[in-house]
Amino acid sequence: MQSLQVSELKAFAEATPGAVLLDVREPWELALARIELPGLPLRHVPMHEVPSRLAEIDRSQPVVCICHHGARSAQVVAFLHRQGHAHAYNLDGGIDAWSALVDPAVPRY
């Protein structure tokens, strides 16, 4: 599985035009905390909706999947790879690691 460390996300976004951050958490989680990076648009599709909304995820765009700790997003990345999405990455540690290691202004929950 392809993955990124939270410390690599900003550089990845800058070096990968067209990349998208796919947040697979529940709406209430997104309301609590989110990653916002210039040049990396956020797309919210809760994990349980990914199969029914697969057509909304462009196979030609690199996708970085995130969740709270990285487990749900890892499952989504595996699913996307099985569906032919060659450029799907898991953000290791999720938004919790982002908050702890990169941006403490993002609330931890």
CATH code of the domain containing 46: 3.40.250.10
Residue 107: inside a domain, yes or no? no
Q: Using pLDDT thresholds of 50, 70 and 90, give the confidence band for residue 1.
A: confident
Structure tokens at 57: 């995820």
Structure tokens at 27: 């709406």
Q: For 14-45, write each residue's pLDDT tens digit.
A: 999 999 999 999 999 999 999 999 889 999 99
Nearest alpha-carbon partner for 1 in 68, 76, 78: 78
The whole-model pTM stands at 0.94
Domain that holds residue 96: 3-101
Half-sphere exposure of 88 (CA within 13 A, CB side): 24
Residue 109: inside a domain, yes or no? no
Contacts of 64 (CB under 8 A, 6+ apart): 4, 9, 12, 19, 20, 21, 22, 40, 89, 90, 91
